[in-house]
Amino acid sequence: MFQKYHPPMGSRPGTLAAPPDAPTTQVEITRYDADSVAVTKSASLSEIPSILSGRSKNEHLWVHLEGLGSSEVLLEIGEIFQIHPLALEDAVNVPHRPSIQSFEHQALIVAWTVRVCPEDALPDTAPDPESLEPADWCDPEFAQLAIFFGDRYVVTIAERVEKILEPIRERLQTKTSRMRQLSSDYLAYAILDAVVDCYYPVLEGLGEHLDDLETAAFARPSTRLLHEIHSVRRTLFHLRKGIWPLRDALSTWMHDPGGRLSDSVRFYLRDTHDHCVQLVDVVETYREVVSELLNTYLSAVSQRTNEVMKTLTIMATIFIPLTFLAGLYGMNFQHMPELRWRWSYPVLLVVMLLVVIALLRYFRNRGWLGGDSD
């Protein structure tokens, strides 16, 4: 799910740590106001101080950093925007619990983004619609996204390339967009709202997969099905860890007078909070479904085991009297008159056959062989 990497034990507070294979940090600068927008890709951080000092009263700045592989770039951005070292540590060292924190000059939002399994990780062949086996499920990918915002600026630090930000960029290009008219906290809200919305496709796919698992649990329980159930259970665990703390943080933040939120954005934030509540409800519902599904699987396996044991017991019960008769007349005694009788062997076979027929009829009347019980 996450590639966890933490600083060594005993490191000073504020130490940044990123995975050794983390991509190099790329910087994108977006300047916008009600009349214009300018985007600079692969920008240099040296441009930012002059932009901050020379911008107009109505101009806003969005600095987006992608990749955590360049600690010096991250530290420099912290100095430029006066980000507290502990806040920068929370933004860079993954995974950090989703949270919202307010500081003297800015606020920090830490959230987890999630996306469905990439297409290259899915099987090459499409599932057979007539098959009773569940379709292959690929665990979704999680990543951390940090959002700093203050007076007319927003700084985002992303662990990976985030496609959920593309609609935000497109909306900024539209002159009539509300982002171009309102303060920077609205841009921060819009990014957070996009993060929350990215959970919906994952949960939708998960719901469809649960339907397949439920069908397979009744039709053909197997070891693969058990593995799929545990995979979904693990996915729901991480989804809950991503959305539950964010819901609580949003609830607190909306009622915090020092949360650096304008009244207009606070109103929109209620909708995002409602989405979080809805997502939490869906996750909790799916967790209950998985628990019931696991119980159904165990019951189905137990039922199959009972059927096998019943069949073996019936077979053993049939052979008990046959074994007795065979053992009785297999004893090596001198005085056994039946052994010298001409028809003893066929009579014994007939008796054995009658015993088998009688037992089978008895089992059938009792409903143990699929017939109606008395």
Answer whether 132's CB lies under 8 Å from 215's CB. Answer: yes
When pLDDT is averaged across residues 209-229 and rounded to a whole number, the result is 86
CA distance 8 to 6: 6
How does DSSP classify residue 200?
H
Per-residue model confidence as pLDDT tens digits over 305-330 = 888 888 888 889 888 988 888 888 77
Tell me whether the omega of the peptide bond preceding residue 7 falls within 30 degrees of 0, making it cis: no
CA distance 197 to 265: 17
For each of the domains in the chain, give its residue range(s) and CATH number, in order of start.
26-121+131-301 (3.30.460.20), 329-365 (no CATH)
The whole model's pTM is what?
0.80
What's residue 123's pLDDT?
A: 43
Which range is least confidently modeled, 14-23, 88-97, 117-126, 179-188? Answer: 117-126
Per-residue model confidence as pLDDT tens digits over 100-158 = 998 888 999 999 999 886 544 444 443 443 444 555 567 888 999 999 999 899 999 99
What's residue 133's pLDDT?
A: 52
Per-residue model confidence as pLDDT tens digits over 179-199 = 888 889 999 999 999 999 999
DSSP readout, 31-92?
Answer: EE-SS-EEEEET--TTHHHHHHHH--TT-EEEEEEE-S--HHHHHHHHHHTT--HHHHHHHH
> CA-CA distances (angstroms) from residue 14 to 66, 85, 126?
20, 5, 48
Grade residue 19 by pLDDT with cuts at 50, 70 and 90. confident
Alpha-helix residue ranges (DSSP H) falling in 255-343: 263-328
